[in-house]
């Protein structure tokens, strides 16, 4: 992979805190403001043409990061640049034009489609917003993209409503809608999590094929590490609002360095009875995002933790080439 390829999206020190509503009286009498540390000082970039996986468990901030990139949320602080231009400085008009180039596929295909719009109308709507095509041209383009994602016969299906389609078809509709304006970059937020097991591979396969055909760049947000293997070039692991490890997929999977990454990979159930898990899993559960642990946020559950770990928050340091880790102990490094 050519490392000098253009950085399509660059994220620097992105932070998003959500205020926690306290009772009225509590608000009067206490000064401290409680916040949910959804995303805390996250920095990474995505190269043009690659698929970056953003993986982690609940509360790690991956979905919030996705929403910030799409500017469906405003950040507390930090920068996101698309092709060098900061998106948070955009005017409404510039933002609208940007939305032609950055699209999204949501997790729940049923909920992301308006129940009262025919799927043809839903798919074609981005064209109506961003282009001056005639209704006939929009219809043609809608049918064209529907055929490409496997919704055939397009003319027949375009008049249907979401509740008349199967889950797999609905996700294809969401994909068609995302791609109809020929975007450069697609944020896929757990696109197969809600699909049936036998449908997942179809959708994954479709996404890979469309990436080649449309020359796309993906941010693939998921909690399922195993699926990353089939679509991602690089992967970033998030824990409690921070990136703990990022690097080429093969590297991270074969030589995980951060203790959390190691645990996460060990915990994924392997669909093969001969493989029994060897590495112990951490105790306890993900702590609250309102009061995250000091220093390295994983230290209370980490079996390699030293006294330093509760002090200063570790930065992402380069370990080898494109592989970066935020850990002082690095039990596996050098292996």
Partner 1 sequence: MNSNILEIENLTVHFPIYIGTVRAVENVTLEIKQGEVMGLVGESGCGKSTLGFSILRLLRPPGLIAGGQIRYHGNDIVRMDEQELLAIRGKRIAMIFQDPLTSLNPLFRVGDQFIETIQTHENGVSNKEAVERAADMLKRLGIAPDRLYEYPHQMSGGMRQRIMIGIALVLNPDLLLADEPTTSLDVIVEAQFLDLLNELREQFNLTILLISHNIGIVAQMADRVTVMYGGRLAETGKAEALFADPRHPYTQGLLASIPNIKLDQPKLHSMPGAPPDLVDPPSGCVFHPRCPYVMDKCRGEIPPSFNDQDHQTACWLYG
Partner 2 sequence: MNYSPTAALGQFIRRFTRMGKQYGVEWWILVAGAIVILGVVSMAMFATVIAPYNPYDQDTGPQLSPPDSEHLMGTDNLQRDVFSRIIFGARTILGVAILAAILSSILGISMGLISGYAGGGFDKVFSLVMDSIYSFPGLILAIAFAAMLEPGVTNISIAVAVIYIPTYFRLVRGQTLTIKQELYVEAARAIGAPGSTILAKYIFPNVIATTAVVFTMNVADAIMTEAALTYLGLGLPPSVVDWGMDLAMGKKFLPSGQWWLITFPGAMISLLAVGFTMLGEGLSEILNPRLLEK
Given the rule CB under 8 A, which residues bind partner 1? 57-58, 166, 168, 196-202, 204-205, 223-227, 229-230, 253, 263-277, 281-283, 285-286
Query: Of these partners, partner 2, partner 1, none, which one is at the site of residue 163 (CB under 5 to 8 Å by kind)?
Result: partner 2
Choose among 245, 268, 269: nearest CA to 333: 245
DSSP 56: -
Asked whether the beta carbons of 161 and 180 are under 8 A apart, the reply is no
Q: Which entry of partner 2, partner 1, none binds 322, CB below 5 to 8 A by partner kind?
A: none
SS3 content of the chain, % helix, strand, coil (to 5): 35, 20, 45
Closest to partner 1 by CB, 76 or 150: 150
User: Under the criterion CB under 8 A, does residue 159 sit at the interface with partner 2?
Assistant: no
Cα(146)–Cα(140) distance, rounded to whole angstroms?
10
> Is residue 19 near partner 2 by the rule CB under 8 A?
no
Q: Which window, 100-108, 246-254, 293-301, 316-324, contacts partner 2 (CB under 8 A)?
A: 100-108
Q: Is 16 helix (H, G, I), strand (E, B) or coil?
A: strand
- Per CB under 8 A, which region of 114-122, 147-155, 220-228, 313-321 contacts partner 2? 114-122
Q: Which is nearer to partner 1, 76 or 293 (CB)?
A: 293
Token pair 């919704």: residue:
151
User: Given strand 77-82, what is the order of strands in its sheet?
Assistant: 35-47, 7-19, 77-82, 85-86
Task: Specify the residue, 10 or 100, whose C-beta has the smaller distance to partner 2.
Answer: 100
List 17, 148, 172, 177, residue binding partner 2 (CB under 8 A): 177
Examine residue 153 and say whether the peptide bond preceding it is cis (omega within 30 degrees of 0). yes
Q: Distance (Å, rounded) from C-alpha 68 to C-alpha 62?
A: 10
Regarding 64 and contact with partner 2 (CB under 8 A), the answer is no
Beta carbon nearer to partner 2, 170 or 299: 170
Q: Note whether 142 binds partner 2 by CB under 8 A.
A: no
> CB under 8 Å to 213, separation ≥6 — which residues?
148
Given partner 1, partner 2, none, residue 3, with its beta carbon under 5 to 8 Å by kind, binds none
Q: How far is the CB of 201 from partner 1 (least distance, A)?
A: 4
**Which tokens in the block code for residue 216?**
């796309």
Q: How far is the CB of 116 from partner 2 (least distance, A)?
A: 4
H or E element in which residue 80 lies: strand 77-82
Q: Say whether 323 sits in a helix, a strand or coil.
A: strand
Cβ neighbours of residue 147 closer than 8 Å, sequence gap 6 or more: 154
* 1 near partner 2, judged by CB under 8 A: no
**Binders of partner 2 among 22-61, rule CB under 8 A?**
none
For partner 2, the binding residue among 7, 12, 34, 125 (CB under 8 A) is 125
Within 10 angstroms of residue 182's Cβ, the number of other Cβ atoms is: 13
Backbone φ and ψ of 151, nearest 5°: -95, 95
Residue 283, contacted partner among partner 2, partner 1, none, CB below 5-8 A by kind: partner 1
Q: Indicate whether 182 belongs to the interface with partner 2 (CB under 8 A).
A: no
Q: Does 130 bind partner 2 (CB under 8 A)?
A: yes
Answer whether 295's CB lies under 8 Å from 311's CB: yes
CB 90 within 8 A of CB 123: no
Query: Of these, 3, 31, 116, 283, which contacts partner 2 (CB under 8 A)?
Result: 116
129 is a site residue for partner 2 (CB under 8 A): yes
Three-state DSSP state, 249 = helix
State the binding partner of 273 from partner 2, partner 1, none, CB within 5 to 8 A by kind: partner 1
Q: Residue numbers of the site for partner 2 (CB under 8 A)?
A: 70, 72, 95-96, 99-100, 103-104, 106, 108, 111-117, 125-126, 129-130, 163, 174, 177, 181
């Amino acid at each position: 992979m050519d490392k000098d390829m253009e950085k399509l999206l660059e994220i620097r020190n992105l932070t998003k805190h959500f205020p926690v509503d306290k009772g009225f009286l509590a608000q009067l009498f206490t000064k401290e403001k409680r916040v949910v540390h959804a995303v805390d000082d996250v920095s990474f970039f995505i190269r043009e043409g690659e698929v970056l996986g953003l993986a982690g468990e609940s509360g790690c901030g991956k979905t919030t990061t996705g929403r910030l990139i799409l500017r469906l949320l405003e950040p507390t602080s930090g920068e996101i640049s698309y092709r060098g231009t900061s998106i948070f400085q955009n005017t409404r008009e510039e933002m609208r034009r940007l939305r032609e180039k950055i699209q999204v596929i949501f997790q729940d295909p049923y909920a992301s489609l308006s129940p009262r719009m025919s799927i043809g109308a839903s798919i074609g709507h981005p064209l109506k917003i961003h282009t001056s095509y005639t209704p006939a041209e929009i219809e043609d383009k809608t049918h064209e993209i529907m055929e490409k994602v496997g919704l055939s016969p397009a003319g027949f299906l375009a008049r249907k409503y979401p509740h008349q389609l199967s889950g797999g078809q609905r996700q294809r509709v969401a994909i068609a809608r995302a791609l109809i304006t020929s975007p450069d970059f697609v944020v896929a937020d757990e696109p197969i999590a809600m699909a049936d097991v036998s449908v997942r591979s179809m959708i994954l396969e479709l996404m890979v094929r469309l990436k080649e055909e449309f020359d796309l760049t993906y941010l693939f947000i998921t909690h399922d590490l195993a699926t990353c293997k089939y679509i991602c070039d690089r992967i970033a692991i998030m824990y409690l609002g921070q990136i703990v490890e990022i690097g080429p997929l093969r590297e991270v999977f074969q030589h995980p360095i951060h203790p959390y990454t190691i645990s996460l990979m060990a915990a994924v159930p392997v669909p093969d009875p001969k493989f029994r898990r060897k590495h112990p899993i951490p105790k306890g559960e993900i702590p609250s995002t309102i009061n995250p642990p000091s220093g390295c946020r994983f230290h209370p559950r980490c079996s390699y933790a030293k006294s330093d770990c509760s002090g200063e928050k570790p930065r992402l340091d380069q370990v080898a080439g494109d592989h970066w880790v935020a850990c002082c102990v690095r039990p596996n490094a050098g292996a």
